[in-house]
Chain A
């Protein structure tokens, strides 16, 4: 067991931290968010230059061969800076589907373009009725000769408005909530029948509602087994949960620091408010919550590469539960300890709070994962005598 970063990993961490420290200060972020697109193409090019867009892909395919730990390192820094670019949808989610579900030729064609920053991806999955159940898919895919025809509507597709390709889940067989019969399709966002309605989500990230009407795709659009794509979805979502956990840790760490600094400088009753024990204890409790989250984000990075799907899922329930609990506590207390200033749009604390809340409500909130884990008999499974 070893918690240290390798020399290379430290370099990666430093270079991302330096880039974001220089070009992603809070005022700069606000300017990016205020553009029509809602994020920065220049930063995207800078990520490409640093290799962040090629990070998880195999070196032979034009990637950097990074694993879940490298993803954790980058995501944590992005959490600190509250970045707005479509890194998670393109590299972690879209990239995950390509790595685990696409044939080598397809990866060979797409990975260099992703790495160069020319291609954006999004995961079109959640539907009006599905909440967080990954197997609840009403969108249909009907066979049509060698290809398929897709019909359905997807909501809150993260960065779905700018994506060039959409990874779409659709039912090829069975009933709406059957675990079998889900296919995963790579769909050109410009294909006839695809319409998108972009919007800015609560945390400032872009998202879209995507409607598919008689969208025709060829046989090459299928990722994995068209009749049994759920294990692929589970796997990629688990990797995304690990990345979100790390991003949340970065955001919690940054907003905790911001809060502690504020406690030292804000004066009331003739002294810094950080001299009051009630507030000191709350700041210490925030730190406990942060460190618990950090431990579980590390577990997430470790388990993201676990081949035993049931065990991986079980551990990810635990990871996301702890992240949700910690994020809520740290976010709420950051606002409370600041007082009124943190209620304003012009101050960073509230933006951290909103991003942390969004992370909790992406791919299952704490209650969802608690429920799922409890139903499976908990983290250590059935009792062993």
Chain B
């Protein structure tokens, strides 16, 4: 057992830090430091910079651009990117759809899609949830009917994050409505967002942001070669993808950055008042969150180390549910501390994804964003399999209940 980072790992962390400092555009860093979401152009530019360095998809197989690094080394890269803060490589591409194509796709699909995914030449979005299929994802109704060398897709997806930017969507569709179990009639399709019959409609969330969308499919023709894996076996892909997604949701590096910044903010005295860090109640809540984050960090490393040993297995790891639950709870707790720190300044809220703000000098930007971010982050315990669903998974997979 050795819980300290090795000399080599520490040197690598420094190398990453130096690379980010030299190459990350100042505008991207400033925008993210303030708590706003980066623009599409910022995300694309940064992922291409990482890809040119060979760091966009370190967890992929080497032949598809991976690095063959240990999970710990990958964790360090991810943590440093989040801590800067800088945009992570787009999760829909590199953590969700990419690994599914690598595990289940054909050679032709890999050649066609993977390099463009890694370089963010194509922006992917996720077509899983439907108005009637949230936690009960397997009840989804969007239909795909085989007609010659095409599927014809009809139905509706919802909560589709950043579909307004997307070139492609990976889609769960029902190909066999008569299967014995709902999970057995589902297939995993790759669909060009420019296909005729697709309509994207924005959903504005309570923080005022346009982040998610409804996507409608009206007789959309999808070539049969865009089926991933076996027809009616798409649920295997979905389970695999959701388990991968959960590991990323711990977002330890991002939370560290938010806490570091909060400590700075809380030790300032807006309007000449008493800094909130001097309030023992606030300090204790902050400290409690820090300790919980430490526990999450070590737990994340433990899960990654286990995954390293089980490499090559396409089995989902139920321990990732712990990371999803605690990671999202902690991010939400941190967002509450920002609201506390902002106090009445928080009433002058701004939109996190836009440049529109109230009077620029009215309140500091972090304070204006405190409540919108708090509102927005309520989503975290809902998406990616709600935290209650994660507990169902743990009860079944770990505890045999």
Contacts and interface: CB of A to CB of B under 8 A. Distances in A.
A complexed with B = yes
A379 interface: yes
B334 interface: no
A1 B6 contact: yes
Interface stretch (A130-138, A157-165, A198-206, A292-300): A292-300
Given A1-B6, A380-B290, A281 B395 contact: yes
B263 interface: yes
Interface stretch (A116-124, A142-150, A283-291, A339-347): A283-291
Given A378-B263, A379-B287, A296 B294 contact: yes
Given A292-B295, A321-B288, A277 B392 contact: yes
Nearest to B395: A280
Interface string B275-287: 0000010011011
Contacts of A232: none
Nearest to B72: A1
Scoring B286, B295, B302, B392 by chain A CB atoms within 10 A of each residue's CB, the highest score goes to B295
Nearest to A385: B264
Given A1-B301, A299-B3, A374-B286, A383 B260 contact: yes
Interface string A297-321: 0110110000000000000001001
Given A292-B296, A379-B291, A370 B284 contact: yes
A328 to B, nearest CB: 14
Given A383-B260, A383-B263, A383-B264, A281 B2 contact: no
Given A288-B326, A378-B283, A4 B1 contact: yes
Given A1-B6, A284-B395, A370-B288, A379 B388 contact: no
Given A298-B298, A321-B288, A374-B283, A1 B4 contact: yes
Interface residues of A, number: 48
Contacts of A288: 322, 325-326, 394
A285 B387 CA distance: 11
A322 interface: yes
Contacts of A296: 291, 294-295, 298
A301 B1 CA distance: 10
Given A1-B305, A277-B392, A378 B294 contact: no
A260 B305 contact: no
B322 A287 contact: yes
B399 interface: yes
Contacts of B392: 277, 280-281, 284
Contacts of A375: 283
Given A280-B399, A291-B322, A292-B326, A318 B298 contact: no
Interface string A1-25: 1111110010000000000000000
B394 A3 contact: no
A383 B267 contact: yes
Interface in B242-274: 256, 259-260, 263-264, 267
B286 A378 contact: yes
Nearest to B282: A374
A296 B301 CA distance: 12
Contact of A373 (B5, B6, B287, B321): B287
A3 B307 CA distance: 12
Interface string B290-331: 111011111101100100000000000001011001100000
Interface string A346-385: 0000000000000000000000001101110111101111
B323 to A, nearest CB: 10
B1 A3 contact: yes
Nearest to A288: B322
Interface in B147-198: none
B292 A292 contact: yes
* Main SS at interface, chain A: helix
A322 B292 contact: yes
Contacts of A127: none
B1 A5 contact: yes
Interface string B386-401: 0010111011001111
B9 interface: yes
A277 B398 CA distance: 15
Contacts of B1: 2-6, 9, 69, 298, 301
A226 interface: no
A380 B4 contact: no
A264 interface: yes
A264 B305 CA distance: 31
A252 B295 CA distance: 16
B72 A287 contact: no
Nearest to A281: B391
B259 A260 contact: no
Contacts of A295: 294-299, 302
B395 A283 contact: yes
B286 to A, nearest CB: 6
A294 B303 CA distance: 13
Interface string A90-124: 00000000000000000000000000000000000
Nearest to B259: A380
A274 B401 contact: yes
A275 interface: yes
Contacts of A3: 1, 3, 301-302, 305
10 contacts: A1-B9, A2-B2, A3-B302, A281-B391, A284-B395, A293-B295, A322-B291, A371-B284, A378-B290, A379-B290
Given A263-B401, A295-B302, A378-B287, 9 more contacts: A260-B401, A281-B388, A281-B392, A284-B399, A288-B394, A295-B296, A322-B294, A370-B287, A380-B260
Return the 10 tightest CB-CB contacts between A and B, nearest first: A295-B298, A280-B395, A383-B263, A284-B391, A284-B394, A292-B295, A374-B287, A302-B3, A274-B401, A379-B290
